[in-house]
Structure 1
Amino acid sequence: MRKLLHRIEEGMDNLKIKKKLYMLYLICVLIPIIITDSVIFFIVRSSEQEKQQHEMANIANAVSYNISNTISSIGETAKSIYTSKYINSFLMQEYESAPEYVLTYQEFFKDHLLENILGMNNLVFTFYIDNETIVNGGKVNKIENIRETKAYQSLVEQKKSKGIFFVYDESRNKISKKRQIVFLQKLDFYSPNKEKILKVELDYGKVSDELKKMNYDNEVEILNEGRIVLSNKKHGTESENYEKVKKRSKYTYCQEVNLYGTELEIRIDESEKTGWDSLMNKFQIILLLIFVNVILPVLFVYLINRSFTKRITKLSKVFQSVNNEQLIYMSDERGKDEIGSMIRNYNRMVERTNHLIETVYKSKIREQEIIVGRKNAELLALHSQINPHFLFNALESIRMHSILKQENETADMVEKLALMQRQYVEWGADCVEIEQEIEFVKAYLALQKYRFGERLNYDINISPKCEKKIIPKLTLVTFVENACVHGIESKSSPGWIFVRIYEKNENLYIEIEDTGNGMSENEYQDLQNKMQNASIEMLKVKGRVGVINACLRLKIVSDDKVKFTIEGEEGVGTMVMIQIPVEYV
């Protein structure tokens, strides 16, 4: 057996891949499909009718349970209302005036949970009472308003105290006519001498949708008095009258259900789909299919797999030598197929590549290392010659000179300029505490105040719990600068800049608002899009690069969880709101 497999393997090595794939398809796909389909067709044909009957019975039971459960829940609620002394007292009370009734009505439904209980199930309820002192409207109406309805007349004709009725409301105008499912309950437990009726109207559309959501392939119809009142297929719209039942031979299963004296018939038609579960009843045939579809193809695929993977695995191992200084030859070049040809070509490539590495690449690497080392040495020498603190010393000298000459305003401006410049030069970490960033903002606004005078006013409001939060350095001042330059600078009248920082709902909120000239709606939309989608590529384009830079750094530190919102009106002002999850600050 081993010798035979070895000969087959050698033969496979000499076949073209195209021929191997043809053989794979013929033996592992085409033949098994033909055999499997023939056997399955015979099995399904023999068991289809029995399974269809069983499935339709299950569907009918499920539909019956579903609609019975819906109606029963209404009945239980109606039963509690029927025996409620509190509700009866409200309905039977004689009111001296309409305002007195309205106040009592409001108090009753304010304290009673009835509307909430029924409202959660999308049910509309109404009381009808023989009481001349009430005012028509809302949830309580006079008994005359229901006596002309089909549901009430059916209740009286059938001499029932309660019932469920499928009616088509033709009392409405042509536009609002619709199908209704109505539950009526006589409230004669107390004061039987005066007629009281509870009407609960189900949402016909919701009940119909619930039936459709059961996702049965079979057509399900619920019949009442010769009409199709519910269906999971299209039988008229909600605004059309119920369709009359026609005798159709495709119905093969019927089941009746009684809901409070209302007879309903559930009809299920045959599904066009065939059953597959019956396959498990044919164990011997399944074993045959397993052999034809699994064992035989696996054996043949194994032989093909050996032809491919044995040599490809070796080739993969030698390819790992690309990280070394020398590529490795592959000794096994057997086989006349594409893989064998690839191995031979690889060996020729290895020979030429090793030569190039030795003669060209290594020499270039050494040369580059020398050049880079020289450049680094030159940069280090230049860096050592530059001491940025000379600028601070010079600014301090100017400040002291101004103080000596009692030019205190100039000294204060120089001090704030030195503070800002130190922030730029002494970069250190990219992130700082908010209270440090605010000091920089205050210094910037104070300098701008010298420039704009009374045209610029500002207010900074920070929640104490936010002062130690960490944000990227120089991000907040970028938005403040933008508000100052694009908002206040172009406005001749006095303006304000507001900075607000607070924490809410596990988020840090930063708001920068100005009362400047604002922008057009299109400009706001364009700027917000750029802020939310800030990228390195945008920094190469002229425009508000500072804002894009700040947005990009905020996106980086928050794993792209930061949200930017910009609002405003042209001629009124602009507000930028930055929302960052607290866990990132």
Structure 2
Amino acid sequence: MNFSLKKKLRIFYIVCVIFPLMLTDGFILHSVFTAGRAQQQHDMENLASALQYYVIGTFEQAAATADTLNLSSYIENFLEKRYETPLDYVTEYQEFMNQSFLGSSINSGDVRVTIYADNNTLVNGGRFGTIDKIRDTTWYQTLKQDDRDAVLLFYYDDWQSPAVAPKRKILFLRKMNFAARRGCEKVIKLEINYSKVIRDIDKMNYELPVFICKDGKVLLSNTKDNYLGQDFSEFTMQKNIGYVKDISLYGDTYQIYVLRQKDAVWKQLAKNVPLLFFLIFINTLLPFFLMTLIERSVTVRIAQLGKVFDSVDSEKLIEIKNVQGDDEISQLMHNYNRMADRTNGLIQTVYKDKLREREMSLAKKNAELLALHVQINPHFLFNALESIRMHSILKEEFETADMVERLAIMERQNVDWGNDDIPISREMDFVEAYLGLQKYRFGDRLSYSVSVEPDCENICIPKLSVVTFVENACVHGIESKVTPGWIFVRISKDDDMLCIEVEDTGKGMNEDMVREIQDQMENASIDRLKQGRVGIMNACLRLKLVTDDRVCFSIESEEGVGTMIQIRLPIKTNDEK
């Protein structure tokens, strides 16, 4: 599109901000409405489940009491017994009620238990009675005509009206017909406290109206349909039902109706009308002002960048002055300034760099000439030592000749400047040459043993790294000891590690000296070379450098016994070499 950046930003604002915000607000309103309905449905389901749990728990408790009484042989015998006189019955009844288990089973504040039997020697009253007393009642006829052993009955008792005021009752009826027994007819009646059940439902503080119905009758609810003295009313609010849950209790099906709250979602939205208008203001006007500020900030600075980029064809890049802001464009401008400054600097220094390269090349050639000159000087020394050795042989001074030969070996190792790494076999030649010279000095006071595994001979290590520790063992271990001593040099492989051990049977060291030397070996550096023990520090530093600080040092010493230093370093592979 051949539009200016300003127009493109405005089109972007309308298409990518205003239009999506309108769609988003509409989607949010729809989501709020849908979520409100879903939440209301979820609340109704939870309410119905909680009420179901309470009702089943209440009636299961009554059923459990009835089952306990049905299985009691003691009650069975009490009801089957034929009493000679009413006094005999009363005496037996009082003894029966004093039984702790049975008394607690048939006496409860929430459930009233009465047991009837077809035994005319029983005296009506208390917790027992005869079948003849209840034979004409509606609830007895219902149980009699039902094939089930247990029946839950919501019952409006107007049998003795007007003598006794009618009222609603909840009865759990059970036939005492345990299969193992034979005898007269017996019935258990548990009257559940209807008023308490209603109070319990009210205490649950349900926000929505809830009803428990059967055959279109309202049996229980949290509304005003619970007057104890009125018959159960018809349920007439089918249009307002929001959720229905069927529950089965002892062969009968009951319905739990939860009524939905009218216009609950719209009322919730009405409460948030000020917030909706505020969101509309925030989503339209505020983005417009912000977009205007961003537009000005972007276009002005991009134009400024365009001007300075026009100078790239000149000999010197122009830097941007007074860079404003702290966003990506300002960072781009700062980066451009750094690039321009560096480019201008490179242009100025390129000739100096070429001159410096020429000087370095000349210095390198001079150094090579000097090295060749230094290499010539030891050559005359070796020729002189060889002349002395031959002269000693001619005069049959063989010990002197051997000493000169060993000295030549050591000197040649010192002045070999070509490569710092040498095979262990050559390092051991130097060690044996040094120990041979020391043997002439100490005589029988010094004995030594050098042991190298065959597959270790060609492994390269920094030259003079082993002989340094051998020299330290001679000077500080054997020299200060009057009695004869030994020096052992052992080199072996342990998997991919090279193990070097230098042990002496000299005077040994105390713990403070051991800790000091251990610290010097582990922390060897150029700065610490000035503090003493230059030989050991130098060898440790070179070993740390060639192994990338993967070398391990350990020292063990005991005064009057001797000292052992162990060095473990990784074996170089072909790639590392």
Instruction: Assess same fold via TM > 0.5.
Output: no
For the superposition of Structure 1 and Structure 2, which TM-score range results when normalised by the shorter chain? 0.3 to 0.5
Q: Structure 1 length as normaliser, TM-score?
A: 0.42
| Structure whose alpha-carbon radius of gyration is higher | 2
Q: Structure 2 length as normaliser, TM-score?
A: 0.43
